[in-house]
């Protein structure tokens, strides 16, 4: 892990913290210029199931936050997405992990929805649903500038996964940490 602005040990992480994860490119393989529209197109990235099991034992809560404008484009519907997420959660549970809830925004980028990352709406939804979480004691792991900006806009610590796919797109998209993948972050947590 590359530490940019702070040391992971300085965060004083404990079981009261919350973890937010992007989906495409972090949990599953991103389909370039397309969307995961059915379960057969969803492929977990290496080490993700093991990492999420580790996160579930460490963090108070684990959420997934994902922009899904394929719905807004009419390429899939919310029922398709919910089916994918149900199967994703089933596989994660079978591997010993847990996702408390999946939040998604189906809106098109052009709609400027307050729920679409980088806007903090999905974080606020999670906080409203689970009033025991603090966004200041939360970590956002994502692979895009909008993920990092979402974390910053929500007041979270931000972690960039998969540096090679990162493109700067927002002024507030400088991550606090950079990791290779979720498994490497899980390993770092075990060292605390």
User: Residue 73 sits in a domain of what CATH number?
Assistant: 3.40.50.1000
**Residue 34 CB neighbours (<10 A):** 10
Cα–Cα distance, 24 to 16 (Å, whole number): 26
pLDDT computed for residue 165 by the predictor:
54
In-domain check, residue 152: yes
pLDDT at 43 exceeding the cut of 70: yes
7: pLDDT confidence band, cut at 50, 70 and 90? confident
pLDDT at 167 exceeding the cut of 80: no
pLDDT at 20 exceeding the cut of 90: yes
- Has 24 been annotated as catalytic? yes
In-domain check, residue 55: yes
In-domain check, residue 18: no
Q: Which of 10, 14, 24, 100 is catalytic?
A: 24
Is 170 or 185 the better-scoring residue by pLDDT?
A: 185
In-domain check, residue 142: yes
In-domain check, residue 188: no
Tokens standing for 116? 């679409």
Q: Where in the sequence is the domain holding 44, given as residue range(s)?
A: 32-107+120-182
User: What is the model's pTM?
Assistant: 0.93
Tokens standing for 80? 């398709």
In-domain check, residue 69: yes
Task: Give the model confidence (pLDDT) of 62-92 as tens digits.
Answer: 999 999 999 999 999 999 999 999 999 999 9
Nearest alpha carbon to residue 160 among 170, 9, 90, 192 = 170
In-domain check, residue 25: no
**Residue 165 CB neighbours (<10 A):** 12
Task: Give the model confidence (pLDDT) of 119-148 as tens digits.
Answer: 999 999 999 999 999 999 999 999 999 999
- Has 33 been annotated as catalytic? no
Nearest alpha carbon to residue 137 among 150, 121, 151, 120 = 151
Q: Which of 14, 22, 132, 143 is catalytic?
A: 22
pLDDT computed for residue 48 by the predictor:
97
pLDDT at 164 exceeding the cut of 80: no
Cα dist from 187 to 67, 116, 184, whole Å:
27, 30, 5
Q: What is the DSSP letter of 128?
A: H
Helix spans in the chain (H): 48-58, 69-72, 78-94, 121-129, 145-153, 182-190
Q: Give how many domains the chain has, as a whole number.
A: 1
In-domain check, residue 132: yes
Task: Give the model confidence (pLDDT) of 91-117 as tens digits.
Answer: 999 999 999 999 999 999 999 999 999
């Amino acid at each position: 892990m590359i530490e940019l602005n702070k040391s992971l040990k300085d965060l004083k992480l404990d079981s009261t913290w919350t973890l937010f994860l992007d989906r495409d490119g972090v949990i599953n393989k991103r389909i370039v210029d397309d969307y995961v529209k059915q379960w057969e197109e969803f492929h977990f990235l290496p080490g993700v199931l093991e990492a999420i099991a580790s996160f579930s034992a460490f963090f108070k809560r684990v959420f997934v936050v994902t922009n899904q404008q394929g719905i807004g484009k009419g390429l899939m519907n919310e029922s398709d997405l919910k089916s994918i997420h149900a199967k994703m959660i089933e596989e994660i549970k079978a591997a010993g992990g847990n996702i408390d809830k999946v939040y998604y925004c189906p809106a098109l980028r052009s709609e400027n929805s307050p729920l679409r990352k980088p806007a903090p709406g999905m974080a606020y939804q999670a906080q409203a649903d689970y009033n025991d979480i603090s966004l200041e004691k939360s970590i956002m792991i994502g692979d895009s500038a909008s993920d990092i900006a979402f974390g910053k806009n929500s007041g979270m610590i931000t972690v960039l996964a998969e540096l090679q796919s990162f493109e700067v797109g927002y002024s507030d998209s400088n991550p606090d940490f950079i990791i290779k993948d979720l498994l490497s972050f899980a390993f770092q947590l075990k060292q605390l």
